Structure 1
Amino acid sequence: MKVNLSLQKMSESIDLKNIRFNFIDTEQTDQVSFELKPQLLGVVKSYDQDVLADIYQDNISMAVWQRQLGAVSQYAESLLVSAPNFVFKSHGSSEQLNTTLTKLLPDAQHKGLFVEDVTLLVDMFACLFDLKEVGLRLNVLSSAMCPRFHVDKIPCRLVSTYAGIGSEWLHEAHVIRDRLGLGGHVADHNSGLHEKGRINRLNVGDVALMKGDEWPTSLGRGVVHRSPSASDTKKRLFLSLDMI
């Protein structure tokens, strides 16, 4: 798998021990006692984009680059109004995706900044995992794509919300994995959440790398997450990047 090849390359080029200002949040249980779980994986957050390289650490399940969008958010908000049904799904190099998005997205102030920002994330994702092409999905959403807690059956995915409510996720200590998805006894969107657990949410602009169930060193322990609620009056602009 490409992710295995990239692991060696990244370990040769990046000294993860020297990445500074990263906050590792392993449980955040708010003084709630849970049963001891083996191999609890942490979530690392930072205002420094280099935090994304921490996804290669075996004890990390999600790396979050916390950032402010600035003028980029103005275009994202305008897109919810000018193209309320916008859906784009494709794959290619950053140059190809940049060209296509420039053609498809409606013209408005700061459009160029928005396309440049998406291209930046594509470049970072491709570099991190040694990819020639990246799968990109950019959608305006008026409903939750995946309303129930679940784990992606992939090695890793990048997600970011440009406008609206950010994705929701659970710490490992708050998860009951055998109740996720079809394992839930009822059609409850909270199936898989410990009765004393807490739902966490990414902020607008956050760039998160989430390990899936097929990450080589953490098989079956991917990040549990779901789409937040959305509606015609509370839309979201959501981006995800995948390995090709």
Structure 2
Amino acid sequence: MPQSVDLKSSHYNLIDMKGLKQEDSGEKPALLSVVKSSHEEVLADIYQNHISMAVWQRPLGHISQYTESLLESSPDFVFKSQGSSEYLNTMLRKLLPEGQDRDLFLEDVTLLVDMFACLFDLEEVGLRLNVLSSAMCPRFHVDKIPCRLVSTYAGSGSEWLHEAHVIRDRLGLGGHVTDHNSGLHEKGRINRLKVGDVALMKGDEWPTSLGRGVVHRSPSASLENKRLFLSLDMI
């Protein structure tokens, strides 16, 4: 059963986002590092300037049984809302289909909401949970937000690039419309999060990123190979 974690014990927690400033070096920060760990406390490392993404690597265990059944019983499931952890838990409990280990799955989603809210001192969180049968964002891009939590409960995990493998002026409008690999260096490598991984990705609006957020995209999905994807945003 998922256990609560007190991220408030980290000295990185509860830093005023507006108070973060880039050092007066005149240089853009080199967000080259991605930190991974099997311990949930790694998520607090997102406050370090040289870290662009923090990944909590974990197995889903029995939760996988429910997530697979959800793909079958509710292939068009979509939930998008914002509110307190208690409110989101209540709404999801009403909407999620019955099934073995449903409560375990709901407890896990609520745990992630609580951790995200604790880490950034939020009263409310924006939550999106949906089954995907196609790539939601198939091209490499950077989110225009401070930070987002993502996790895949079933199917392929999100794909991302190390900073050294990115050509940023080829992202977005600078890329080729039909080329989903636009922005990837010709000798670069595409990385993929695993099922169950919980990742915090800095976006372009993180105070010290200066337009160098994590470059990522949605993996391919189909009616035969669906995904169950969760994302959490600051409100």
- TM normalised by structure 1 equals 0.85
Partner of residue 152 from structure 2, selected from 158, 161, 164: 161
> Which residue number corresponds to residue 31 of structure 1?
none
What residue identity is the alignment partner of 1:107?
A: E
Q: Does 1:41 align with 2:37?
A: no
1:73 Cα deviation (Å)?
1.1
SS at match of 2:100: coil
> Which residue number corresponds to residue 28 of structure 1?
none
Q: Which moved more, 1:64-73 or 1:183-192?
A: 183-192
Residue segments in structure 2 that go unaligned for 5+ positions in a row: 1-6, 13-27
Q: Does 1:195 align with 2:191?
A: no
Taking a change above 3 Å as real, the CA distance of residues 186 and 87 of structure 1, as seen in their structure-2 partners, is: closer
8 Å CA contact 1:40–1:173 kept in 2: the answer is no
1:38 Cα deviation (Å)?
6.9
Partner of residue 140 from structure 1, selected from 131, 135, 146: 131
Partner Cα distance (1:95, 1:162) in 2: 21
Correspondence 1:59-98 to 2 at 5 A: 59-98=50-89
> Which residue number corresponds to residue 18 of structure 2?
none
Partner of residue 209 from structure 2, selected from 215, 218, 226: 218
What residue identity is the alignment partner of 2:155?
A: G
What residue identity is the alignment partner of 1:219?
A: L
What residue identity is the alignment partner of 1:243?
A: M
> Which residue number corresponds to residue 111 of structure 1?
102
RMSD: 1.5
> Which residue number corresponds to residue 185 of structure 1?
176
Partner Cα distance (1:14, 1:171) in 2: 26
1:185 Cα deviation (Å)?
3.3
Partner of residue 14 from structure 1, selected from 10, 25, 41: 10
SS at match of 2:139: coil
1:209 Cα deviation (Å)?
0.1
Deviations, residues 215-240 of structure 1 (Å, cap 9, x unaligned): 00112010000000000000000000
The number of equivalent residue pairs is: 214
> Which residue number corresponds to residue 237 of structure 1?
228
Partner Cα distance (1:136, 1:38) in 2: 29
Partner Cα distance (1:103, 1:135) in 2: 18
1:15 Cα deviation (Å)?
4.5
Runs of 4+ in structure 1 displaced over 4 angstroms?
none
Q: Which moved more, 1:179-188 or 1:115-124?
A: 179-188
Partner Cα distance (1:40, 1:108) in 2: 42
Q: Does 1:175 align with 2:166?
A: yes
- TM normalised by structure 2 equals 0.88
8 Å CA contact 2:29–2:208 kept in 1: the answer is no
Residue segments in structure 1 that go unaligned for 5+ positions in a row: 1-9, 17-36
Partner Cα distance (2:106, 2:31) in 1: 37
